[in-house]
Amino acid sequence: MCPWTPLNAALGLREDLSPASLYRGWVDRGIRDDPAMNPTREPHDQPWKTISRVFQLARRKLGRGAWLPGYQASSLPSSSPQFWFGNNLTWSVIARVNGQTYSLFGVSEETEGIQAATVRDGNFTSTHSTFLLTAGSKNFTLDFFSPVSPTNYLRQSLPFSYLTISVSGISSNDSVQIYSDIDSSWTGQPDNATWAFSEANKTSVFQLSPVEEALFSQNPQEQALWGETVYATRAQNGSVLSSASGPSSAIRSQFVANGSLGNSYANWTSDGVVAFAHEMETTTENTSITFAIGHVREQTINYLGNTQTGYYRAIYPNTTSAVSYFLDDYSDALIESINMDEFIQKGGESSYGTNYSDILALSLRQIYGGMELTIPNDTLDTNDTMAFIKEISSDGNINTVDVIYASFPVFYVLNSDYIRLLLKPVFEYMDQTNYTYDFAVHDIGMDYPNATGHSPKGEFMPVEESGNILIMTYAYESATNATNISSTYSPLLQKYAQYLSTNGKYPDAQLSLNDALGKVANQTNLAMKAASGLACYGHLTSQQNYTDAGKSIADALYNGRLGTDPNGTYFTTQYDNDSWFLAYNHYADVLFSFDLFPEEAYNATTAFYPTVRKPAGVALDANLDWGQTNWQGFVAATVTDEARDMFISDIHAYIANGLNDVPFSDRYWVQDSTTGEAGEYFAFRARPALGSHFALMALQGADQWVG
């Protein structure tokens, strides 16, 4: 029997499907040996290993989501799930077995009559986070499941996640009940909220909302201050459902005493919860029940003064019908998730090993959960679909072009149409008469969800973003054989290509993706981006002169030593400067096999980077103590052998080192500094800009996912 068979059986998964290996060490060694599961141990008491520090619990849409810091995993029954910002959320699961009540998850305050269950195991794949616990004589599995459905826009746009609770070892003489609740901490306004209960399509639904709703606004923790949090379930597999709302202590005590709730609904109070209880069917040995949790904002994005709404509302325009369909769709979504998990695991392992597949599995939900798939709120026209992405935990910009660029390899692999969907609102904005610059825009709004246009006070990255636009347009059209972007926005693309042709070889003082540099002139990385962008435009339009212009810049940078040290050992940060930097902007040259840079250039960087590696990885440039996993992901795809393996190993060690208890941060310390330890996160937690981790996998071709 495979070691994961019991857990898979509890989840209803195939016996032969191995989960991603992030927790294989945990299973082998046992919880007591893992510092994440035993926080009294120091992380450095044992080698860095393949265990993540944060579990994604519910990660579907911007404005809401739940994570569990890894150090809380061993105390799951009393843990506190968190929003990505770090503020606690109330979300509990309690089980009653033959009259004795056990906390399974999230019961942070002691309640008379409730004992803590024993945590036995934990795991996650690219779409699931699961925990196995023992309560009395029964085994319970909590499966937190956030679908990632790249080609099914209806499924992907639904703003809900699943929690399935399975119990095994039941006999006809047993009595088993399961309880779960949430509170107004999910609303963004925990001290002044309201709730309502309704039933439709055999589905029971609680909706929690802030009283003082502020449209298109966020609280200081970046939780949306409009819309409603939804918690829903239905009687299933023979269960008997009851529900209630009221003070937490009273509602939980009612379940402890009776194993059910009174179907009474008190008005909101600051210490209140909304709760469901299931009396489980005991005629079968194994059974389960499923909840849906999410956040609905019918007015999702303020796009140039017009409101965008979720794609799903074209078919399910109200909350109750949407969440009811979401529960109906569970079986199909689960099958797709099994295939996705297997695709991510095998796709990573077959080419670059288990370390690489671990990185991909940890990244996937965070990427797709950072986007919104929308349609116009007034027409609900699915022929006018767009996607929006937030620059989470940095400056909150919306559809930042370089953030889209940092993510595009995952879309290239799974469904390249997402490149078009994300660029569509950017192109529409740049095509307006009030955007008159000769280079591409940095973003289309300073403060998500307000895509109201680029602020004159905002950032400008003329070469970087113009190159990004051309590269991503080519990536989309070469993958799909479509011409809808290049034909619709031909004048814009030509303008940006001409800007790069004129300004790309010797860029003026300006910002680049290495924001630590500030505005400096003659950045080698920017010239690389210009070379790649020009080549993409030349291939896109069959204009050889632009491809030649890109080749000319690349030749000058390497063969002419304009952008290297005198011996061509490494690329310099600026011309006439001996400081090295991480050259990630010639990734497009490798992805599309343009051969702009000679093989000698890639051989040189392959040999060089291991020589400048610091204790936890390669810094972004010679003068920094920190690195970024997204740019390291691009570079890993441009080097070979030892250097490629080094980048993969360093990112993997970072996610497994036991030093971090926040959602995946792409910026981390590569050596000790005055403010951080090597391997600790530095900034930029929970961002969707992890798609470049798929840069290596993208070398195998576009649109590899077939659903």
In this predicted model, what pLDDT tens digit does every residue of 207-236 receive, in sequence order? Answer: 999 998 899 999 898 899 999 999 999 999
- Mean pLDDT computed over 173-192: 94
Q: Higher pLDDT residue, 460 or 53? A: 460
The pLDDT of residue 3: 33
Strand partners, 288: 166
For residues 410 and 279, state if they share a domain. Answer: no
Q: Is residue 428 part of a domain?
A: yes
Give yes or no for a contact between 241 and 234, defined as CB atoms under 8 angstroms apart.
Answer: yes
- Each residue of 468-503: pLDDT tens digit? 999 999 999 999 999 999 999 999 999 999 999 999
The pLDDT of residue 707: 80
pLDDT above 70: percentage of residues in the chain: 92
Instruction: Quickly tell me which residue has 């009940």 as its tokens.
Output: 177
- H/E element, 246: strand 240-247
Q: Is residue 704 part of a domain?
A: no
Q: Domain end: 281, 302, 323, which one? A: 302
For residues 282 and 405, state if they share a domain. Answer: no
For residues 296 and 412, state if they share a domain. Answer: no
The pLDDT of residue 12: 42
Choose among 61, 64, 92, 106: nearest CA to 291.
Answer: 92
Q: Domain end: 285, 302, 319, which one? A: 302
Give yes or no for a contact between 362 and 148, defined as CB atoms under 8 angstroms apart.
Answer: no
Which amino acid would we find at residue 175?
A: S
26 pLDDT exceeds 60? Answer: no
The pLDDT of residue 73: 87
- H/E element, 490: helix 490-503
Q: Number of folded domains in the chain?
A: 2
9 pLDDT exceeds 80? Answer: no
Q: How confident is the model at residue 25 (pLDDT cuts 50, 70, 90)?
A: very low
Give yes or no for a contact between 148 and 413, defined as CB atoms under 8 angstroms apart.
Answer: no
Q: Give the three-state DSSP class for 575.
A: coil
- Each residue of 127-160: pLDDT tens digit? 999 999 999 999 999 999 999 999 999 999 999 9
Q: Is residue 316 part of a domain?
A: no
Classify burial at 63, counting beta carbons within 10 Å of its beta carbon; exposed 0-12, middle 13-18, buried 19 or more: buried
**The Cα angle at residue 300 between residues 244 and 183, in degrees rounded to 5:** 20
Q: Domain end: 267, 287, 302, which one? A: 302
| Residue 449, preceding peptide bond in cis (omega within 30° of 0) | yes
For residues 133 and 246, state if they share a domain. Answer: yes
Q: Looking at residue 527, which CATH number applies to its domain?
A: 1.50.10.10
Q: Higher pLDDT residue, 215 or 28? A: 215
Q: Is residue 44 part of a domain?
A: no
Residues spanned by the domain of 161: 53-302
Distance CA 68, CA 58 (A): 10
Q: Higher pLDDT residue, 698 or 85? A: 698
H-type helices in 246-396, by residue range?
248-258, 319-328, 330-352, 354-368
Compute the mean pLDDT over every residue in the chain, rounded to the nearest whole number.
Answer: 91
The pLDDT of residue 456: 86
Choose among 686, 679, 673: nearest CA to 651.
Answer: 679
For residues 88 and 226, state if they share a domain. Answer: yes
Q: How confident is the model at residue 63 (pLDDT cuts 50, 70, 90)?
A: low
Q: Is residue 550 part of a domain?
A: yes
Q: Is residue 570 part of a domain?
A: yes
Q: Is residue 338 part of a domain?
A: no
Distance CA 654, CA 396 (A): 25
Where does residue 292 fall: left (phi above 0), alpha (psi -120 to 50 degrees), or beta otherwise? beta
Strand partners, 104: none
Looking only at the bridges linking them, the beta strands covering 287-296 and 193-200 are: unpaired
Q: Is residue 391 part of a domain?
A: no
The pLDDT of residue 31: 31
The pLDDT of residue 52: 57
Which amino acid would we find at residue 577?
A: N
- Mean pLDDT computed over 2-22: 38
For residues 164 and 278, state if they share a domain. Answer: yes
* Range in 4-8, 141-145, 463-467, 476-480 with the lowest mean pLDDT: 4-8
Distance CA 684, CA 200 (A): 41
Q: Looking at residue 77, which CATH number applies to its domain?
A: 2.70.98.40
30 pLDDT exceeds 80? Answer: no
For residues 130 and 250, state if they share a domain. Answer: yes
The pLDDT of residue 64: 76
- Each residue of 608-646: pLDDT tens digit? 999 999 999 999 999 999 999 999 999 999 999 999 999
The pLDDT of residue 290: 99
- Mean pLDDT computed over 377-406: 95
For residues 413 and 283, state if they share a domain. Answer: no
The two three-digit tokens of residue 635, written as one number? 């570079």
- Mean pLDDT computed over 47-51: 33
The pLDDT of residue 43: 40
The pLDDT of residue 517: 87
- The DSSP result for 272-302, as a single string, is EEEEEEEE---SSS-EEEEEEEEEE-SS-EE
For residues 133 and 252, state if they share a domain. Answer: yes
